[in-house]
Amino acid sequence: MNSQADALLDQIYLPLRQKNIVVGKKNRIVVIAGPTGVGKTALAIEIAKIINGEIVSADSMQVYKGMDVGTAKASKEQINQVPHHLIDIKEINELFNVCDFYNEAHKAIRSILAKGKVPIVVGGSGFYIHVLLYGPPMGPPCNIEIRNQLEQQLNQMGPDVMYEQLQMLDPDYAKTISEKDKHKIIRALEIIALTKKKVSDIPKPQKVEDLFDFRCWFIYKPKEILYPLIEIRCDEMINKGFIEEVVELEKKGIRQNSSASQAIGYRQCLNFLTTDRSRDQKEHFVHEFKKASRHFVKRQFTWFRKEPLFRWLNVDEINQERVIEFILQDYEQGI
């Protein structure tokens, strides 16, 4: 931030810094969500500096070592400024699912609170954040044998055929997911195979209100403004060595990781690596990368519109200093 902004924040929050106290309710947690490329990390770091916070990543791919450029992972400088949790905790050949995230995130949150600091959850993975707020899915644990069989069928027949199977077995749940979401299609069919029940019949978990007071914000820019920025961001990632990053991850087994290999950008790049890598093929990869990124942003908007705990802040209309003021006033006063 510039000197004027620093002066404004000092005027408002210097008493808190001088007293070295954590404002607000003991178990109050700040949650900052938003679409890709909107500036969540930078905002969270500034807030963490003011209220003695630590950041818990709610990004499904930043847990993996080596997935740096394509996930816009916090830099070493940023991590040195404010401690980050759930970053680089898994090798690329290890699985990490939403239940693992729930357990690790709650462990990190309790650890931060025990130190008298403020947990600040940051990310754009709507499903992960939903699970953090309301508890893990009630379905059975993963069965590796059944999962492998379903993944083989999906590779042979394609996601469209598997999605049609899901529509026949559980049309209500099928309506809630995309026909291209391989991971959720497989998980739904796995649950049906294990329980002989529809996924839509499994009881929804309830929010654990007795544990934490989540103060949730969705920061965004209008899509007509954000989409061009996303395309520039994709180009910048490629210039920073994204393709080379994926080449190295391929050597370490990313293709065998059914989650990481399907991540935005990584899937498109892995497809590109199977071609002759001509100029036309690279242009096609870049086009698909940008298109997938835009579609992901659209899904993020759709997801969080259904989340009742989130208040929306248009950061194209409200400057960062004002956004920080909103979030910190809410944290302190529980508005």
Same domain, 182 and 196: yes
Phi (first) and psi of residue 23, to 5 degrees:
-80, 160
Same domain, 127 and 9: yes
What is the model's pLDDT at position 67? 98
Q: Is 174:187 a contact under the CB 8 Å cutoff? A: no
Q: Which one, of 264, 329, 222, 8, lies nearest residue 125 by Cα?
A: 264
Q: Which of 201, 219, 250 is the last residue of a domain?
A: 201
Alpha-carbon distances of 166 from 35, 175, 289, rounded to whole Å: 29, 10, 28
Same domain, 18 and 120: yes
Same domain, 122 and 238: yes
What is the domain range of residue 328?
Answer: 3-136+206-333
> Quick one: 170 exposed, middle or buried, by C-beta within 10 A (0-12, 13-18, 19+)?
buried
Q: Which of 201, 223, 250 is the last residue of a domain?
A: 201
Q: Is 34:121 a contact under the CB 8 Å cutoff? A: no
What is the model's pLDDT at position 31? 97
Same domain, 164 and 110: no
Same domain, 166 and 122: no
Longest Cα–Cα distance of the chain, Å, equals 63
CATH number for the domain spanning 174: value is 1.10.20.140
Q: Which of 186, 201, 216 is the last residue of a domain?
A: 201
| Average pLDDT by stretches of 10, the chain with 335 residues | 44 42 65 95 95 96 97 93 96 91 94 95 93 82 84 90 94 88 89 90 63 93 96 97 98 93 96 97 98 95 94 94 94 78
Alpha-carbon distances of 333 from 116, 212, 215, 329, 330, rounded to whole Å: 18, 15, 11, 6, 5
How far is residue 294's CA from residue 304's CA, in Å, rounded to a whole number?
16
Total count of domains within the chain: 2
CATH number for the domain spanning 304: value is 3.40.50.300
What is the model's pLDDT at position 141? 74
Same domain, 239 and 283: yes
Which residue shows structure tokens 């100029």? 279
